[in-house]
Chains A and B, each alone.
Chain A
Amino acid sequence: MNPSLANRLRIGFALAFALLAGLCIIGVGHLANLRQDYEDDTNRSFSLQVAVERLQTAFASENAAVAAADRNPADARSSFDAARATGAEAQRTATALADGLDPAEALLAERIRAGVAWRQQVAEPLLRGDVPPPSLQSRLTGAIATTGNDLIAEETRRRVGLDSDIDGETRNTNLLVGLGLLSGLLAALLLFGGMIRSLRKPLEQLVDAAGKLADGDLRARVAVGGPAETVKLGGAFNEMADELQVAYRSVEEGRQRLAVTLESLSDGVVTVDETGTVTDANPAARQMIPWAEPGTPIRESLVGPLQAGRVERLLAGREPEEVQISAGDETLALTASKLGAAEGGTVVSIRNVSERARVEQMKDEFVLTASHELRSPLTSVQGFAELLILEREKLDDSQAETVQIILDNARHLVRLLNDLLDLARSDVGRLAIHPVPTEVGPLVEDVVRTLGVRADEQGQELICDIDPALPPILVEADRIRQVLINLLTNAVEYSPRGATVRVSAARVGNEVEIAISDTGPGIPAKELAHLFERFTRGDAGLTQRVGGTGLGLAISKSLVELHGGAINVTSTVGAGSTFRVVLPANTDSSRPNSGKLVEGKS
């Protein structure tokens, strides 16, 4: 594996640091040495110069002494001694410096010593009174002067040379340090450049692959080199892409399966968004309802406003059961389920129930015919039994009781027959309704009045709570009265003595809801589901007392639905039940006008 970026950085920094530190130490050490050398040289040079100057002074005194030797030998002698002392001191100085002198200095020191020695050699005889001839004296004086001057000039030259040497050394050292810093900087630049170069390619590869992945090319992979980090990153990227591909494949397979399932389904499936616009429809749905193209509102083209109302309730989730609509010659059953809360749409499944509807129609036709045929014999049974009762005095008690039983059962049979007939006619669409705008208040109050007597008998209180601002409802008053009487009769009959029965009416959107609440025994949940089916009744004992046929609620449901309304029930065992009838309000101008014949089904 390649060294990691962090390690590269560490190594790079360490190298650069070592390089720079080394250069600094070398430079500073060199400078310190230079300075020490310079100081030593300067000190020596200074000492030499002092020695030379002393020597010169000594020469001057000697000259004076030599010049005056013939006239005043005593004075000359003392001057000469002083000069000698000075010369000796210069010589000592030169000798003391002898160690560590460079060749030039050593030569100089040697000359100083030689000069002193030479003068002693020359001057001694003078002082002893051997005055040299003037030519020699002047030569001596000249030699002494020349030697001193030479010495000083030489030393001065030497010092100038020393200065220029030290300047050159300083320049070199500065150059060296500058070069060092520059090369350090260059090394750092190279290091970072290299690192960036080593990162750039893998990063570009990763960016490129990520772009491809984002564009949907799930096969995009990378072969990343470079530092360990990018290699690891590349590995992680590939792993992620693999997982993405696997996940996508399984989602795609699921989607395909679902699509094929939907395509091959004989039931129609339509999805609609929250505005009721079709978003998708499978082939079966498009075949059953050609208008169910994506983008069209599902309410559009539904046959008749009464059906549209039910479909709207279905989409709003207020229609727990299937809704049957007619589309041409076909009968379609619609059921709806809410999609997830996030999407807010609805999936509507559509089943062609034409065959079922035809069978039901045949059955209803049969019931219709059969009940007609039953009417004549039933008339005879009931009629003759009544005749016997009218001639009761001719019968003994047992016979009278028998006849009464026959009569009671004949009457029950008649009620059953009437209800069956109503139901069959309503279901089969024979029952034509003529909806007109009807005020809710008077209709409900009339029903409450009708049941008032019976409620009084039972010591029950009937409370009527009607919103005075209700819009009229679009119904055939007699049919809805029949429904309300049926519901209120149930409420009164199933409630105990002294109970309260409440009838209320309120507006809900474009509809009016009439609710009838009792405080009866309530209906168990398992019975609620089948409550509106035929021959379904609650508690057997109670039912016998109430004397219903078991068709009342089925008829009520059929009649309400014929009006484009809905009926439902909520109940709590032990607390009572509430039946709600929802009917279209006459607020929408698109609703049928009064008096117009509306067939429930075609």
Chain B
Amino acid sequence: MTRVLIADDSETILLLLRRRLELAGYDVTSAADGQEVMEVMNSGNEDPDLLLLDAMMPRKSGIDALADLREAGVETPALIVSAHQSGSDAGAPPDLEVSGYLAKPIDFDDLLGRIEKLTGS
């Protein structure tokens, strides 16, 4: 089963994402901020096929977390969710390796289509 790691500081959004992704048949792990994302990834217990990160989170943002992961050599495809429509608007460095950006409110048809394309499932 395709595993997706989701991160958002809003529990409601996390619940929504989990419900929607599980309904589509994905295995979902969640994190409340970038710090937790790093912990999950560093624990070695999880090896997600895709990261779905909120751009803005307290403690550590999704963009910072992804930048650290890329630094550490993690190449897992990643989608960034933000209130903005493009990467530069979301404040991501231009050379950050991101598979795509999603604007809030999330268009789930678009999201699921992209996940399918990125994970091949």
- Residues of chain A whose beta carbon lies under 8 Å from any beta carbon of chain B: 371-372, 375-380, 382-384, 386-387, 390, 410, 414
Contact = CB atoms under 8 A, between A and B. Distances in A.
B97 to A, nearest CB: 23
Contacts of A380: 10, 12-13, 16
Contact of B106 (A372, A379, A410): A379
B23 A387 contact: yes
A375 B83 CA distance: 7
11 contacts: A372-B83, A376-B104, A379-B13, A379-B16, A380-B13, A383-B17, A383-B20, A383-B105, A383-B106, A386-B20, A390-B23
A377 B83 CA distance: 12
Nearest to B105: A379
Contacts of A379: 13, 16, 104-106
Contacts of B16: 379-380, 383-384, 387
Contact of B20 (A371, A375, A387): A387
A600 B106 CA distance: 30
A196 B33 CA distance: 115
A382 B105 CA distance: 8
A302 B20 CA distance: 54
B104 A375 contact: yes
Contacts of B12: 376-377, 380
Contacts of B70: none
Contacts of A414: 105
Given A387-B19, A390-B23, 5 more contacts: A375-B83, A379-B13, A382-B105, A383-B20, A386-B108
A378 B20 contact: no
A434 to B, nearest CB: 12
B19 A375 contact: no
Contacts of B19: 387
Given A372-B83, A383-B16, A387-B16, A378 B105 contact: yes
Top 10 closest pairs, chain A to chain B, by CB: A379-B105, A375-B104, A383-B16, A372-B83, A380-B12, A375-B83, A379-B104, A378-B105, A382-B105, A414-B105
Contacts of B13: 376, 379-380, 383
Nearest to A383: B16
Contacts of A386: 20, 108
Contacts of B17: 383
Contact of A378 (B23, B104, B108): B104
A520 B101 CA distance: 39
Contacts of A377: 12
Contacts of A410: 105
B63 to A, nearest CB: 16
A82 to B, nearest CB: 173
A376 B57 CA distance: 12
A375 B108 CA distance: 15
Interface in B29-72: none
Contacts of A371: 83
A390 B23 CA distance: 9
A384 to B, nearest CB: 6
Nearest to A390: B23
Most A C-beta atoms less than 10 A away, residue of B16, B17, B19, B105: B105
B52 to A, nearest CB: 13
A376 B12 CA distance: 9
Interface in B65-91: 83
B83 A383 contact: no
B45 to A, nearest CB: 28
Contacts of A375: 83, 104-105
B107 to A, nearest CB: 9
B92 to A, nearest CB: 16
Contacts of A382: 105
Interface string B1-39: 000000000101100110110010000000000000000
B108 A383 contact: yes
A378 B17 CA distance: 14
A390 B22 CA distance: 13
A376 B20 contact: no
A375 B105 CA distance: 6
Nearest to B56: A372
Choose among B12, B23, B104 the residue with the greatest number of A CB atoms under 10 Å from its CB: B104
Nearest to B88: A432
B37 to A, nearest CB: 18
A215 B17 CA distance: 91
Contact of B10 (A372, A376, A387, A390): A376
A380 B105 CA distance: 8
A377 B104 CA distance: 10
A118 B83 CA distance: 178
Nearest to B19: A387
B7 to A, nearest CB: 14
Contacts of B23: 387, 390
A115 to B, nearest CB: 168
A410 B104 CA distance: 12
Nearest to A411: B105
Contacts of A378: 104-105
Contacts of B105: 375, 378-379, 382-383, 410, 414
A366 to B, nearest CB: 15
A382 B16 CA distance: 10
B53 to A, nearest CB: 15
Nearest to A378: B105
